[in-house]
Amino acid sequence: MRVGIYPGSFDPVTLGHWDLIQRAAKLVDRLIVGVLHNPAKTPTFSLDERMDFLKTLSKDCQNIEIATFHGLLVKYARQQGAQFIIRGVRAFSDFEYEFQMALTNRKLAPELETVFLMPKEENSVISSRIVREVGTMGGEISGLVPEILRDRIATKLLSPK
């Protein structure tokens, strides 16, 4: 069985993330969308909210599993029996960082392959950071996040901290 992991913070999930999740699911028998739990960071959306967003989106997808992990990605990948780490690359600046991470992961776990996917052109400029910036200033986030989640994400971004 081909198992891939698409890790990220998904704070919040964007159309770019969802595009990559759907396309990655076609490449493997089982895709684990791993939501990173990093106690050193304070995300805008709680771990439960981020998990719920992704579960809502993937509820009809047979081979997509939403899970959380902490610590080293390669350790988690080994525990899950994964052969592939899926990473999204939007621009050259993303590639430089992702290339370094892929080489480090290869050094730590040579049996794991990193697979880079590019989002569709219309999603290539979307990032969670941009969604948070636009949303907290009351801007329209349609076209940046999945429509089914738009109101929930917008409400949270506009709520006082």
Kindly list the catalytic residues: 17, 41, 90, 128
C-beta of residue 91 within 8 angstroms of C-beta of residue 121: no
CA atoms within 13 A on the CB side of 161: 6
**Through-space distance between the first and last CA atoms of the chain, rounded to whole angstroms:** 44
Q: How far is CA 119 from the centre of its chain?
A: 12
Q: In what helix (H) or strand (E) does residue 77 lie, and over which residues does it extend?
A: helix 73-80
Six-digit token pair at 137?
């200033």
